[in-house]
Amino acid sequence: MAQHNTQEIMRLLDAVVNDSYQVVEPESYSDQDQQQLVRTINEIFAQKQQIHDQHRESLGRSEKRLREIIETTPVGICITSEDGIFEYVNPPYCRLYGYESQELIGKHFTIVVPESHRHRLNSLHAEFMGRRWELRGEWTVQRKDGTPMNILADAAYIIDIDERPKKVTFVVDITDRKRAEEQLHHTVHRLNEEIEQRKRIEKIKVEVERIIQHDLRNPLNGILTATELLLRDDLTDHQRELALLIQESGKKLNTMISSSMDFVRMEEGTYELQVQELNLVDILSDVRSEIIGIARSQGVKLDFVMNGAPIDWNDEFLVYGEEVYLEDLLVNLVRNAVEASSEGERVTVSIVTGDTYVIDVHNRGVIPSEIRDRFFERYTTFGKRNGNGLGTYIAWLITRAHNGSIRFTSEEREGTHLVVELPRIPVQGLLV
């Protein structure tokens, strides 16, 4: 009989653990010790239920708060399946495009894309889902009434709660900004020969950039503050992933907005470098992560060498400057080298340490003779369908801001070497 009762108690405990327990009346057992054990098991079950109820209530509040943030943020947000089908759109996204949510859910995302661009955008979506890299850029889309709209979009790859891959896209309307940029470009072209008028245009440019920065930064600051508060709550893994995704995308957009004004100040010679002590190897690792997808898609091998040997990604070599701009400098140069390479070729990034850091980006391509004399000037480009001629100019600005130098050699036998030399000593308070 004792053995039977012991087995029964173990059965009850196992039911508590597996959430299949039904409360038992202690008086159904004749033995007082068994009755006391049953009472104890009932108390354990009640405490467990209380904890579960509190946890569900906390998750419910967090989920409600997350939904409120997503649906009230001024940034349009949509989630599409791996086949490009809308699965979620927030109210700001609907307002941007002029649709009701039920008109988009279940439809292919190209419903908001001009017909002439649909094939290309569909191919980019498939490429994005296959390679799982983040995608940022400016695009032309169309509202429900057919009017075009320019957007700044930031997309990221996630695995949703249904364990299927999805694309989350954050959208900001920059139509007014593009219109202002186009008007400014036309004005610059028309008044290019007159120095005094060019100065006036530069002032207009700075003002336009400031307006853009102000108008976009205010809602972004709200997003970043809200997600920071949200991440302090008790979230599920999926909720935390979405909140972190919103936060990271907001930070990226914030950086993109800030950079435009910083480059204007670098041009004017008024930018003050915010110096940090950084590990050059970590910066190179970030550069590699950003470029490796492009290199693989073109069949180009990417090598990193430190002092003549393959780089050890655990090494530390201190460099002083601003991390975001040192990374931007090297990304520009390495990306250009990869894009100028043919399938099967190598791009080598060599670093030599001494009194200075000498970073040599080498590829087998040759810089066209038509642009060599003005290679680091603004708007210098040749043969690139989508080139804007700003990559090497920005690299030159950033190098100058860090009290460094940049140069190149380019010939048929040796290919092209782009060489950046950076100081190893701090340059606190440097004005460029």
432 pLDDT band, cuts 50/70/90, is very low
Rg from Cα positions in the chain: 29
* 8 Å CB contact between 374 and 429: no
CA-CA distances (angstroms) from residue 366 to 41, 332, 335, 395?
Answer: 79, 17, 15, 19
Q: Under CATH, domain 276-423 is a member of which superfamily? A: Histidine kinase-like ATPase, C-terminal domain (3.30.565.10)
Using DSSP, state whether 135 is helix, strand or coil: strand
**Which tokens belong to 284?**
């190179």
Tell me which amino acid residue 160 is: D
pLDDT tens per residue, range 149-178: 888 888 888 887 778 888 888 888 888 877
Task: Supply the pLDDT for residue 252.
Answer: 64
Choice among 207-211, 262-266, 398-402 with the minimum mean pLDDT? 207-211
pLDDT tens digit string along 308-367?
A: 999 999 999 998 888 888 988 898 899 989 988 999 999 999 999 988 899 999 999 888
CB atoms within 10 A of CB 127: 13
Pairing of strands 346-353, 301-306: parallel
Residue 48: band (very low, low, confident or very high) from pLDDT cuts 50, 70, 90: confident
pLDDT band at residue 424 under the 50/70/90 scheme: confident
Q: What percent of the chain has pLDDT over 90?
A: 23
What is the structure's pLDDT at 117? 85
Note the pLDDT of residue 271: 81
Structure tokens given for 133 = 């890299």
Predicted pLDDT at 163: 80
Whether the predicted pLDDT of 401 surpasses 60: yes
| pLDDT band for position 1 (cuts 50, 70, 90) | very low
pTM exceeding 0.85:
no
- The whole-number average pLDDT for the span 184-196 is 66
411: β partners: 415
Which parts of 134-261 are beta strand (E)? 135-142, 148-159, 165-173
Residue range 271-322, pLDDT digits in tens: 888 888 899 999 999 889 888 888 999 999 999 999 999 999 999 999 888 8
Give yes or no for residue 125 having a pLDDT over 90: no
- CATH for 72-267 is 3.30.450.20
**Crossing angle for the helix pair 195-230 and 237-268, to the nearest 10 degrees:** 160
Q: Under a CB-based contact definition with an 8 Å cutoff, are residues 326 and 398 in contact?
A: yes
Give the pLDDT confidence score for residue 218 in this predicted structure. Answer: 62
Average pLDDT over residues 391-416: 88
User: At 42, is the pLDDT very low, low, confident or very high (cuts 50, 70, 90)?
Assistant: confident
* Residue 418, pLDDT above cutoff 90: yes
Task: Give the mean pLDDT of the chain.
Answer: 79
C-alpha distance from residue 422 to each of 194, 274, 359, 419 (Å): 36, 16, 8, 10
| 133 closest CA partner among 293, 315, 341 | 293
Which range among 73-82, 93-102, 277-286 shows the weakest confidence by mean pLDDT?
73-82
Q: What percent of the chain has pLDDT over 70?
A: 77
Distance between CA 66 and CA 60 in Å, rounded?
10
Within 8 A by CB and 6+ apart from 284, the residues are 304, 311, 330, 349, 351
**Residue 302 CA: distances (Å) to CA of 14, 285, 288, 310, 375:** 56, 12, 8, 11, 23
What pLDDT is stored for residue 58 in this prediction?
64
pLDDT band at 102 (very low <50, low <70, confident <90, very high): very high
pLDDT higher at 5 or 170:
170
Distance CA 321, CA 266 (A): 14
More confident call, 126 vs 346: 346
Burial of 392 (0-12, 13-18, 19+ CB in 10 A): buried
> Is residue 404 within 8 Å of 424, Cβ to Cβ?
no
CA–CA dist 408, 11 (Å, integer): 78
